[in-house]
Amino acid sequence: MATLEPQRDVPLAPLTTLELGGPARYFVRAADRDTLVAALHWARDDEKPVAVIGGGSNLIVPDEGFDGLVVHIGLSEVAFETDGTVVAGAGVPWELVVDGAVTRGLAGVECLTGIPGSTGATPIQNVGAYGQEVADVVDTVTVLDRATLAFEDWSPSDCDFGY
């Protein structure tokens, strides 16, 4: 595993939609799975608290900031497959997924436009609007088990969608 060097005292306000709050004592932007796992290992080894953030639309940071490691999810790859499947990283802004699907004539998420945040948050929040829910179009969600730091693929039934 490569040596990880988190940034120090990174302002978090620019990473939230309210643009408020103090800095992260330690900060890593995880642009790939290896960096994500390395960051979580680093925090675990040093017994530091961890906050994982995405688009910052449901995030309020206190003025004193966060005295631990903030991992900003930057998994930003998105692919629109010829069979109508969309594969999107957790850090992709949700609106890009919706716009891309609508542009390609893919039905099922068009009513979910305008919902802020990242794609990784949509299954957790089971976003929905105007009779559509992300649960209705999800085939697989790849998750990271924070206890084992191993990736797993979950089916919709594993996600236990509901309100």
Per-residue pLDDT of the chain (163 residues), as tens digits, is 557 899 999 999 999 999 999 999 999 999 999 999 999 999 999 999 999 999 998 899 999 999 999 999 999 999 999 999 999 999 999 999 999 999 999 999 999 999 988 999 999 888 989 999 999 999 999 999 999 999 999 999 999 987 6
DSSP state of 53: E
**pLDDT value, residue 48:** 97
**pLDDT value, residue 2:** 56
* Helix (H) or strand (E) run with residue 102 in it: helix 94-103
**pLDDT value, residue 58:** 84
Whole-model pTM? 0.91
**pLDDT value, residue 162:** 79
List, in sequence order, every beta strand (DSSP E) within the chain.
7-11, 23-30, 50-53, 66-73, 78-80, 86-88, 128-129, 132-133, 141-145, 150-154
Tokens coding 143: 């998750």
Sign of CA dihedral 98, 104, 109, 113: positive
**pLDDT value, residue 163:** 65
